[in-house]
Amino acid sequence: TWIGGDMDGNPAAGADSIREALDRARTLALDSYRAEVRELAVGLAMHRSLVEVSPELEVSIAHDERELPEYAGTIGRRSELEPYRRKLSFMWWRLGNDGYERPAELLADLDVLATSLSENRGARIATGRLAALRRRVEIFGFHLAKLDVRIHAKELRESGERVRAALSAAAEVRRRHGPEALDTVIVSGTTSAADVLTVLDLSDEPLSVVPLFETIPDLERAPNVVRELVDEPRFAQRLRDRDRRLDVMVGYSDSGKDGGFLAAQWAIYRAQEGLVEVARDSDVELTIFHGRGGSPGRGGGPTHAAILAQPAGHPPGRLKLTEQGETISFKYGLPGLAHRNLEAALAGTLLAAFPKVSAHPPTPEERAVLDDLAELAERRYRAFVHEEPLFVDFFRAFTPVDELALLEIGSRPTRRPESTDFLGSLRAIPWVFAWTQNRTILPAWFGCGAALGSLVDNGEVDILRQIYSRLPFFRSLVDTLEMTLAKSSLEIASQYLELVPAELAPERLFGEIASEHERTMDAVLQTVESGTLLERQPVLRRSIQLRNPYVDPMNAIQVELLRRLRGGDDDARLPLMRSIAGIAAALRNTG
């Protein structure tokens, strides 16, 4: 988890939140075990005259009585005739009073109980509830979830007190909770090997230091930066100490905001190819950590297809990815959903380990086509988003991006405070969230029409179809585009034009959006050889068709509330916030 440890742009995170997060997680874990031990004690109140006890359990109980004489006195002599219950009572007390220093001590007590039960007609309990509890302790330990610390490279370079205190706290909690509770420092915004090595300069703690490459230029540099790292003596020693295991994180959010969906996806793909080559040359066991967001504009999409779309040679059998907070309840809130989503991730990971499934690298001809497509898409995206003089003001009027700050959600401000460049300082989540609110979903498709449409216009759609049928990466990309286009609605988005002043050329700029949307849709439909979007996925298409009529009125209401609030009616503030939350819930996306 990153909760409590993500310091990138979050002024509330730091040394105190690191300590608090792990302390609270420990309390939750121990309380859960304690409740289960109490339930087991109720069911294991057998009298000595009815059941035998192993010598090891007798020794263990005697040890508890010597260690905890006061508590032994409070539970009375009566429980001496109920040995299993007596042992569980001591375990219950230890769990509530820091009586176990490490999970291994609790596991040892559970093993003593299980052995005695198995030897004395209690195998059903030993292999049932007791085994289930043991498995939970093995998985979650006393820390519940491993905490990662994320610090931006810029803040590391400044080496201020906040960073030093956080790294000191990391060392402290590892001593208290064990090294498995906090093992990783992620360096976001990595541009050079020096950014990563700064962590080694500031802390001797044997942590895994993970570079995070986020923008398209940084992704292009990633293989060379990692090669420099593995050759650096201190980092190389750290790798040897960790059995030559190395994590490298690739970011989908800022790369998409930087250059658009298609260019970002291709840059990430190529970065992974280069990283795999570096790992192979350096004899390093590489795990690529995918920083995927909840929405397609930030790398979201079907997990199974995304895993199979990784480059040939991608480290088999290993997968690490982020799940956004807003997707947790949708994907894991019910046992059936959790099982299905974990099953999809596991199946994709296993299938990708087999060369016949995963060994589909682009041919030189396909690679040249994809290079051209990425360049065309990025050029079109940047021309509109980064180079159009009126774009920023149009964006702020056309979407509720400024009003998102009114919502008390998220851990960070919507913008980086140190920059005066609005778009440059805007974080990827509100960037995508704002476009999702007005149903344009622009970050997930803009620029793709110019790229894919160039081949369609030249009568070369067969090239797209061939790559789509042969290359899992391109198939996943096009399928995600198709899904996003189906969820978007420019008819609804056009209602927001009344919020844009005439001097910002709303008709012209929206015309560019509509033209690119139409061109993208046409190219996608021709590539997949369908007459309508999601023709091959009728269940998803029907789901969208059923949901949209309930969302459409909320958008109309939101337009009116934005008009009122921007006109000075403060009474519109609360209902506007509710409209933002309602649309996000209906679309199952906050960015």
DSSP assignment letter at 5: T
pLDDT tens profile 365-413? 999 999 999 999 999 999 999 999 999 999 999 999 999 988 765 555 5
**Average confidence (pLDDT) over 145-174:** 95
Residues in the chain: 591
Ordered by where they begin, the domains of the chain are 25-140 (1.20.1440.90), 143-358 (3.20.20), 364-587 (no CATH)
Expressed in percent and rounded to 5, the helix, strand and coil fractions of the chain are 70, 5, 25
- pLDDT at residue 441 above 60? yes
pLDDT (mean) for 39-66: 92
DSSP string, 135-157: HHHHHHTTTSSPEEEEEEHHHHH
What is the pLDDT, as a whole number, of residue 322?
Answer: 83
Residue 465 pLDDT more than 80?
A: yes
pLDDT at 357: 62
Q: What pLDDT shows up at residue 179? A: 93
CA-wise closest residue to 217 among 183, 186, 251: 251
Which residue type occupies 14?
G
- Could you tell me which of 487, 485, 493, 484 has the C-alpha nearest to residue 398? 493
Q: What confidence tier does 416 reach under pLDDT thresholds 50, 70, 90?
A: low
Quick one: pLDDT at residue 406? 81
Concatenated DSSP letters for 516-557?
HHHHHHHHHHHHHT-SSTTTT-HHHHHHHHHHHHHHHHHHHH
pLDDT at 256: 86
Residue 420: enclosing H or E segment and its boundaries?
A: none
Q: Measure Cα distances from 8 to 189, 194, 427 in Å.
A: 9, 18, 11
The secondary structure of residue 7, as a DSSP letter, is -
Please state the rounded mean pLDDT for residues 35-45.
94
Q: How do residues 525-558 score in pLDDT, each as one tens digit?
A: 999 999 999 999 999 899 888 888 889 999 999 9
- pTM of the entire predicted model: 0.89
The per-residue pLDDT for 112 is: 97
283-337 per-position pLDDT tens digit: 999 999 888 766 665 555 666 667 776 776 666 667 788 877 767 777 888 889 8
| pLDDT recorded at residue 355 | 63
Range name among 31-40, 349-358, 572-581 with the lowest pLDDT average:
349-358
The pLDDT of residue 120: 93
3-state secondary structure 430-459: HHHHHHHHCCCCHHHCCCHHHHHHHHHHCC
Q: Which residues of 46-80 are buried (b: 16+ CB within 10 A; e: fewer)?
A: beeeebebbeebeebbeebbeebeebbeebeeebe
**Which is nearest to 399 in space by CA: 504, 322, 303?**
504
